[in-house]
Amino acid sequence: MNLFYSYLPFLLFAFVASITPGPTNILILTSSQRFGIKATLPAVVSACVAASLIVFISGAGAVNNCQLSQLNHNAPAQLITSRT
What local confidence, expressed as pLDDT, does residue 6 receive?
76
Quote the pTM value.
0.53
Distance in angstroms (rounded) separating the CA atoms of residues 34 and 40: 9
Contacts of 47 (CB under 8 A, 6+ apart): 24, 28
Contact between 28 and 40 (Cβ < 8 Å): yes
What pLDDT digit, counting tens, does each position of 12-23 carry? 887 887 777 888
User: 25 or 63: which carries more pLDDT confidence?
Assistant: 25
What pLDDT digit, counting tens, does each position of 36-76 carry? 999 999 999 998 898 888 888 877 776 666 665 555 555 55
